[in-house]
Structure formats: C-alpha cells, structure tokens
Amino acid sequence: MPRSNYNGNSSVRTSRIDRLLRERELRKNIKASHSNEANGNEAIDLEPRFMEGDDFVERYLEGASAARDGWEKPDGGLVTQRLLVVANRLPVSAVRRGEESWSLEVSGGGLVSALLGVKEVEAKWIGWAGVNVPDEPGQQALTKALAEKRCIPVFLDEEIVHQYYNGYCNNILWPLFHYLGLPQEDRLATTRSFQSQFAAYKKANQMFADVVNEHYEEGDVVWCHDYHLMFLPKCLKDHNSNMKVGWFLHTPFPSSEIHRTLPSRSEILRAVLAADLVGFHTYDYARHFVSACTRILGLEGTPEGVEDQGRLTRVAAFPIGIDSERFIHALESSEVQKHIKELKERFSGRKVMLGVDRLDTIKGIPQKILAFEKFLEENPYWHDKVVLLQIAVPTRTDVPEYQKLTSQVHEIVGRINGRFGTLTTVPIHHLDRSLDFFALCALYAVTDIALVTSLRDGMNLVSYEFVACQDEKRGVLILSEFAGAAQSLGAGAILVNPWNITEVAASIGQALNMSAEEREKRHLHNFLHVTTHTAQNWAETFVSELNDTVVEAQQRTRQVPPPLPVEEATERYLQSSNRLLILGFNATLTEPVDTPDRRGGDQIREMDLKLHPDLKEPLKRLCSDPKTTIVVLSGSDRAVLDENFGEFNMWLAAENGMFLRSTGGGWMTTMPEHSNMEWVDSVKHVFEYFTERTPRSHLELRETSLVWNYKYADMEFGRLQARDMLQHLWTGPISNASVDVVQGSRSVEVRPVGVTKGVTIVRILGEIVHSKSISAPIDYVLCVGHSLGKDEDIYTFFEPELPSEGIGIPRPKLSDMTKPSGDKRSEKNGSKSSQKQTHQRPPENTRIDNIYNNSNSNNVAANGGRRSSPSPDTITWNVLDLKGDNYFSCAVGRTRTNARYLLPTSDDVVSFLRDLSRAS
C-alpha cells in the first residue's frame, strides 16, 4: 500500500522522530544530573554495586529501586506506567525446601540488566519459575515469595513443559530459527507429535496470557519475549484489543524460504502480527519477518512494517546491548585485579586468545579450533607464543547431539595439544564449565584476541563484554559475520566466515601482527558503540517506541466498521414494503475453496467462480418475494453471471455495469454508441507480455475491460512487475485514452473511464423506473460486497441525508453517466488521476443527491442493436423513500472501507441471507 494512503502518514512519522529525539535528550539530561549528584559518594555508592557480583540484580528485584514509584519528571508529573515483562523463565530460580517453604536464587541475565536503568516504568516479571508445583499450598507459598522480588509465576505441569518447552520450542522452533531445519523422525507419529506439541505450545501461551490478564491494569505496557511466546500477542489482543503489546525475538529470524517449512507457519506469523510493535536484533531479521508475512500470508510489506486490511504492525530493529558500566567498574575491584595478576603470571610471554561459548552446535567451536590448528600449521613461530583459552559452558547434556558435539570437541583439542604441545605448555586450554563474573571480567581484560565464530547467533553479547573490558589492553575482536553483533561491531572487528577455515586462520595472523595504531582505532570505534548502545537504552527505546506506535496507529488507521447488526437488519427488512438488495459476486457470494495452508492456494479451483451452493435456495426464496428486488453486481463477464444466476429472477450487472440484464429480460449494453475502444489491443499486448514473464499470473479478457491478476504469483515479484507495467501503460498505450487504471491489492485493471458500481446503480434505478417493475418506492436498501477502493462509491451512494419525502428519479441520460465531469483534458488524464483516488471518497457527480436532479433521457442498446425508448422527460417516479436507519451497507473482509458495517467472510454473508430468506 503506498504511503500516501495513510492519513497524515508522513507527518505522523516526522512527529514520532521529533518526540523520540526530545525523549532521548531528556534521558541524557536526567542521567547527567543523577551522575553529578552521585559524584561525591561514588566510592560508596557504586563500588558495592559492582563488587557484589549479581547481588545488585537481587537488590533490584527486591525493590531497592522502588523509589521510582514516585519518581518525578522534569515537567512535574509522576511516572505511573507499569511494564509487564513476560518471558518463558523468571529471573529467579526456585528450590523447594518444604511444603510451604521456598528458596530463591537470582539468575540475572541480559534482560534483567536491560531494565535496571529504565526509570520511566516500573517493571514486573511474569514467567515460569522452572519447577513443577502441583499442590495449591506450594503455589501460594511460591507466589508470595516471588512477589517480594516483583515476580509473578506461571504454573506449568510436567506434560505441558515436555511438549511445549522441550518439544515445540527447543525441538522445532529453535533449530528452525537457527537454520538447522526441522527434526526428522523415522516413524509415522512425526506428524502427530508436531500437532500435539503445537497444541501444547498454544495452551502454554494461553496460560501465560491468563496470568497477564489477571494482573493487567489499564495503561500497562506488556512486553513479550522470544520464540517461546509467539502466540502470546494474539491471546492478549483477543482478550483486550486496547492492550499495548510488544514482542521481541532474541534469536535470528530465518529467511521466508526456511520459515515456509514450518507446518504451523501461518498461525505463528498471524499471532505475532497481533502485537503493536515487533522487534528484532538486526534489520536482516526484521526483513526476513516482513518477507515471510508477504510471501506466506500475502500481506503488504511497508517500510514501517506489515499491513493487513488497514492495520499496521510496526516491525523494527532494536539491537540489544549490555550493562557496560557494570563490567567497566568491576575491573577496578580488588577481586578482579587479583585474577588479572594471576592470569598475567600464568601466561607471561604468550598472546592470549579467548573463546567463551555455550557448548552448542550453532557456536562453531569445532570450526574455531580447526582454524587455530591451521594457523599453527602455517606459522611455526607462534607455537609456544600463543594460547587459546576456550570456555565451553555445558548445555542440554542429556541430548545425544550435544553429547556427540562434546566428544568431537574433546577429540580435536586432544589431537592439537598432542601435536603442538610440549611438556610445559599446550596451545589450547579447554574448560567444560562456566566462570563466575569476576573471573570472566579478568579473563576478558588479559585477552589479546577474542574469537567469536558462531554459525548463527541472534546477537552474541560475549563480543560486547570483551570490548567493555578492553579499554586498557586494546585487544582485537574476530567476529563471525553470522552473529547479530556483526551488524553493530563490524567496523571495528575483523569479520570472518566461520566455515572458511583458511580465512579464519589468516585473520588470527592479521590480529596477532596488527599495529598498535590500528588496534586503537578499531577498539575506540567498538567501545563507543558498546558504551552508548547499552541494554538500558535498548529497553528504554523499545518501550518508548511501543507507546509511540500505539499513538501512531490511532492517528493512521480509520475506525473499523462494526459488525453488521443482523437482527436489526432482518427486523427492518420485515417491516419494509419494498426492498432493494445489492449484492456483489466475487468474494461475496462465491463458494470458498477450502485449501490447506499452502503457498498460492489452489489456483485452478479459485479461478473458477461458482455460486455458494448454500445460497441457491435462499436466493430463490428472496427473488420470489414481490416486495424484494435483487441486483448482483460483478466485474466478471456476462457468461459467468449467466452460468451462476441464469435461473434467478434478478437484475445482473456484468463488467462493473457495462452490461445489464433485467429480471427475465436480455442483456443490454450501456456503452456509448461512439465509444472509443482502440486502446484494447495495445493494452492486451502489454498484459500478455507481463503474463508471460510472471509465473502464475493470468490475464482476464472481458468485452470492455482487461484485468491482469498476480494473486497466485510470488508477491514481491508480482508487485515489482505491476509497478513496471503501470509505468509502461501511463507513458505509452493509454497516455491519451479515456480509460481508468484500477489497481487492486494483487491486480491491475484497465476499463473505460467513469465506470464504477455507484454509477451502475444509477443506470439500474433508471431502468427500474422505465420498466415500472416496482409498484412502490424503495424503503429498504441492503448493499453487500467486496469492492476495490474506486468502486466504493456504491456504499456512499445512499449516504447523504435524504429528504423526508419520496425522491423522484427520472431515467438518466446515458451520455452523462459514462462521461466524467470536466473538460477533455481530464478525460485524457483519467488513467493517472484515477489511481490517486482509489482510496478516497467518490466524486460528487456520483452522489445520489446530485444524480437525482438529472432530468435527461437515456438510450440503451439491447442485444447488439439500438432501440429508442419513449421520451421519459416528463416521467417522474418516487423510486426511493429511504430513511437512514433502513440503509445497510456492508463490506466483506475489507476493514478499510466506506461501508457502515462489516462481515468477515462469504460464509457470514450466506448465513445472513439464509436468515433473511427464512424470516421473509
């Protein structure tokens, strides 16, 4: 959808940026003032915070910063907004000591650190405590204990945890998002296990949603985290559509071709799109998500996000950071200095290379070690002058794949140490365990080269932590281009492809021989980024933009029409004495094709338009009612309407009104006698050319119009082809033709200028007057359809306030109905101007209050010949006596509409018409 279709979109975007800039300056000033106030007590205040390891996290969770509840803004107001952080795991681990006794251990991670400095909100945590608590007393005791640390538990039983967490999250989503593919099993139960795990996944997400809904207060911001909770935004929005919901993914998001393999691909995407703001670490991941929504769901991808029927889900990149001050200040502590001294003595005279990773298949540990081996092979000089310290934190030790990886790494390390080691030194020190915070900071500080060789990584904050601890040493960072951090630290690091062992080995040599001047430049670049793009800034930015996104959505999106009041519409139908039912055909009365979740759908079946089988009997009953006149409008040709509606006693309008068929009569053309159709052949050649070069697109040849449809083609390629086609048409074949170019969401149509469904209604009403097929003024109008923006004048046709008396309508003159208002220049430019009006209100000349004052005659050609009707200049007929409450305009499946009401699908239309026929 072009940006111009958003109401004030550019101004909204500009005002958002202005607001964010002001907020950024405000935060900087606040932090500066707090820093100045603390200068005198820095040795007292800051030192304990970083001297006590993770104790500062515990103090935070216990409410040490509860003073923020009354924190005063510079403008004098108080902060009242709460932030509900929803993650799979709470930042504390619970251990049961008795029936009603629990001990809690803080497991502070990056997410906790990220929210430490966010003073604008008060954070509460919702998540699973990591234990099964089946009994009520235990749940109550744990809830009470967690409340002291501002945490709210979600209780999951063992079966749910097995199917949801170990199954769908870790066995399906995690490998897929890291490009490892879906698991393969050799038994028939594979499909059933996918289904049962997905059912458990949705159930668990609903359990999280129930806890959020229980504690939610109006105005709260709900921030959902990671692939464990992709269904949570939908669950929350289904309960409360006004809730501010953001979702952030901490892993990569794969390309659309990878995501397509997921059996539940569409449901997952639509559930995430329920959020107001969707965040990723890098632009690549955000681009992949938008591409998946475009290619799999067929939605509109925009620079701002993903649009679905006028609702925009904003998608953006928010690179996470670390609490850099924590690492910088920790280096000053006596414990870290002690570790640094020991390490320097231990590795004196040798360059230290460091790897810190989880022992995981995606971390590229074997590739790293093999590259180091190749470096040693090619550089004998460095055999006893360099050492690689590899910290491999064990994870999922009970999984066979991880056990195999552990054995593989140990085997490679043993071979290299046996090959290049001596009695006193070995080239690789490998540890299968984690280090405490102080030991890790000391290790970072003495390292000369950090080696990060992730095969796929969401961000990898080890690289950030290394840079934060290197302000004295100025070490070199070798970083995999497949880690998200490469987008942020790529300028200062040496980027490598970890699969290219030769390249990584050469990079090790480059880093060891790098000049001090170059190391200084690289470090300063990365250090500036790490210290400015902190975890706190990341959290502040996301929450701020989430609040802003909600405001933007209110400004951008029109009010969605309410559902059709079926009971009221039926009751007024029964009370009226002469009714007019105007029904669309395409996507309104057609039989839905029940296709599985498959890219492109079933093209052959969907192209064959068939009347919904459940509508035949209701339509027959409605047509047989002498008080009811039914009109079916369609862009399809006469043959399609004859095939589907030939047996019914109703009015038909084919090709958007260029052909009319009265009840029981023959087809008439409303095309002007001297209409110029010379443009058809040249446009047809253009359409055929683009059909040939766009797989799965097709050309619909009609008598008075041509349609190029790319609904089933690749969405992005189809839009590019449509753009090229439009540029060619406007500058060539139709530059001087009196035609309109109507661009649908997945189609391009060229038709004679001035042809719309609103104008068609005027012609039909004129014919009704002429044939005197009604005996009383129409006092009830129902208009149901799925119209393009240009044809939405059919909904506004009856909208102006009508006089209380009956309206006299003469038969309008055909020439006035087929020619646009204005001079000939407007006719020539009609093709360009029509595109701009696609989503605007119709021009005044198609409004009912203007048309009714026309007192000209009309000549209509019937069955290929011309007939002259008696001069009706003196004929007037009170064809309408319509009160506003008796008019029901309803769009089907299109929320951006001028219609009063909305029905979601054609099945809802069938249900309503069935009820209407039974009532009558």
Query: For residue 64, is it within any domain?
Result: no
Query: For residue 28, is it within any domain?
Result: no
pLDDT of res. 119: 60
Same domain, 337 and 261: no
Same domain, 732 and 644: no
Query: Is-contact 806 777, C-beta < 8 A?
Result: yes
Distance CA 868, CA 848 (A): 26
Mean pLDDT of 22-44: 53
Same domain, 781 and 901: yes
Q: What is the CA radius of gyration of the chain?
A: 34
- Indicate the residue among 689, 724, 751 that finishes a domain: 751
Q: What is the pLDDT of residues 546-587, one digit of tens each?
A: 998 988 887 665 567 888 998 999 999 888 888 888 888 776
308 φ/ψ angles, rounded to the nearest 5 degrees: -135, 105
Query: For residue 106, is it within any domain?
Result: yes
Same domain, 649 and 715: no
Q: What is the pLDDT of residues 161-188, one digit of tens each?
A: 999 999 999 999 999 999 998 887 665 5
- Indicate the residue among 509, 533, 557 that finishes a domain: 533
Residue 91's nearest CA partner among 77, 108, 114, 73 is 108
Structure tokens at 236: 């929350």
Structure tokens at 453: 């060789």
Task: Output the domain CATH number for residue 740.
Answer: 3.30.70
Task: Output the domain CATH number for residue 767.
Answer: 3.40.50.1000
Query: Is-contact 861 671, C-beta < 8 A?
Result: yes
Query: For residue 538, is it within any domain?
Result: no
Same domain, 125 and 235: yes
3-class secondary-structure state, position 720:
helix
Residue 749's nearest CA partner among 634, 840, 661, 645 is 634
pLDDT over 90 at 741, yes or no: no
Query: Is-contact 452 462, C-beta < 8 A?
Result: yes
Confidence of residue 599 (pLDDT cuts 50, 70, 90): low
Same domain, 102 and 216: yes
Distance CA 834, CA 85 (A): 48
Distance CA 89, CA 96 (A): 17
Same domain, 310 and 186: yes
Same domain, 357 and 280: no
Query: For residue 23, is it within any domain?
Result: no
pLDDT of res. 329: 93
Distance CA 304, CA 696 (A): 29
Query: For residue 188, is it within any domain?
Result: yes
For 534, which DSSP code?
-
Same domain, 285 and 333: no
Q: How many CB atoms lie within 10 A of CB 43?
A: 8
More confident residue, 378 or 746: 378
Q: What is the pLDDT of residues 54-112, one digit of tens each?
A: 454 555 555 433 433 433 444 444 445 789 999 999 888 888 887 778 888 877 566 76
C-alpha dihedral sign at 59, 60, 63, 66: positive
Distance CA 387, CA 684 (A): 71
Residue whose structure tokens are 């458990």 = 200
Residue 434's nearest CA partner among 392, 388, 387, 389 is 392
Same domain, 744 and 763: no
Distance CA 896, CA 902 (A): 10
Strand partners, 743: 748
Query: For residue 42, is it within any domain?
Result: no
Looking at the structure of the chain, the number of domains it has is: 4
Burial 873-906 (b: 16+ CB within 10 A, else e): eebebebbbbeeebbbbbbbbbbbbbbbbbbeeb
Task: Output the domain CATH number for residue 409.
Answer: 3.40.50.2000
Same domain, 642 and 777: yes
Cα separation values, 254 from 167, 181, 261, 268, 496, Å: 19, 10, 11, 14, 20
**Strand ranges in 271-367 using DSSP code E only, listed in sequence order:** 277-280, 300-301, 305-308, 311-317, 351-358
pLDDT of res. 300: 83
Q: Which residue segment(s) compose the domain that 259 sits in?
A: 81-317
Distance CA 892, CA 65 (A): 52
Confidence of residue 113 (pLDDT cuts 50, 70, 90): low
Same domain, 405 and 259: no
